[in-house]
Amino acid sequence: MNKVVQAEPAGFAGPEITGQVAVIGIVKGKPFKPDARMKKILTEAAAVGNATARTISLSPRGEDFYLYGKQCAWYTPFNGGSEFLTDGARVLDGRTAFHYFATGITPAMATPKVGQGSVYAVATRDKDGNGMDGSKAYKLTLPVNIPEKNFWSITVYETQTRSLLQTDYAYPTIGAGAGFPKDGSPNGAVQQNKDGSTDIYFGPKAPEGKKANWVQTVPGKGWFTILRVYSPLQPWFDKTWKPGEIELVE
């Protein structure tokens, strides 16, 4: 942080952040030389801050995060919109949660319209409230008529890095729809059930006969998933359609 402050114009980060770093001795044009006491404080603070941000991101407590109430796992990464504001107040947990997951945000990401833009739903827990284990098998059912005009996708991320889970495939993702890349689902087109619903399987090995609907996970690594719907339709917004819960199957 000191290198950035010294390289950039004074006050480049705004009064709030500039003031926060100044109180720990990081000031434009001045040497940053924390003594042993301050080094210990800063080292501990970094660890506590990381743990706090991880907890807020992967297990948010606020009811306003959850798309269908806290009884369901799915929650929004945009609590408070692109500026993380609700009634003029900064949604601090919302801002922390998003930026621990991702690096940048635009208004277009957080303000979709019917038939335009994209919507995102995050699930870090299974139906029983437990984190997902890469050595176990899970199933997710997406009800009939997924409300998309373009396409939908399911992507798996590692909990430690919040980056794409590194598997035998280039991208740990599957999806369907007119706009979905033809090579996006690595094992062929995703198959629907007879009633039009879609079952998605997660685990180290594909269930027999279900490889096209399977996303690989890795033993020893926790994971979470993000459901994306591109050009979402009205049932997404009025919540008459909602994804099922991720269920442990073994």
- Check which CATH number belongs to the domain holding 211 and give it: 2.60.120.600
Q: Say whether both 148 and 240 belong to one domain.
A: yes
Q: State whether 127 and 52 are in the same domain.
A: no
Residues 202-245 have pLDDT tens digits of 999 999 999 999 999 999 999 999 999 999 999 999 999 999 99
How far from 199 is each of 15, 100, 140, 179, 245, CA to CA, in Å?
50, 30, 6, 20, 11
The whole-number pLDDT of residue 108 equals 85
- What's the pLDDT score for residue 36? 97
Strand partners, 120: 228
Same domain for 140 and 227, yes or no, is: yes
Helix residue ranges per DSSP H, 102-188 = 107-110
Shared domain for 47 and 145, answered yes or no, is: no
- Residue 79 lies inside a defined structural domain of this protein: no
Same domain, yes or no, for 140 and 233?
Answer: yes
Give the closest residue to 243 by CA, choosing from 126, 94, 93.
126
Residues 129 and 231 in one domain: yes
- In the chain, the number of structural domains is 2
Instruction: For the chain, list residues with pLDDT below 50.
Output: none
| Strand 132-133, strand 222-232: pairing | antiparallel
The reply to whether 142 and 45 lie within a common domain is no
- Please identify, among 37, 56, 75, the residue that sits at the C-terminal boundary of a domain: 56
91 domain residue, yes or no: no
* Residue range of the domain that includes 34: 2-56
Q: Are residues 36 and 135 in the same domain?
A: no
DSSP 186-250: TTSSPPPPTTS-EEEEEESSPPTT-GGGEEE--TT-EEEEEEEEEEE-HHHHTTSS-----EE--
For residue 184, the model assigns a pLDDT of 82
What pLDDT is recorded for position 103? 84
For residue 87, being part of any structural domain is answered with no
Distance CA 176, CA 189 (A): 7
**What is the predicted pLDDT for the residue at 85?**
95
Q: How many CB atoms lie within 10 A of CB 240?
A: 10
Same domain, 116 and 195: yes
* Domain annotation covers residue 96: no
pTM of model > 0.85? yes
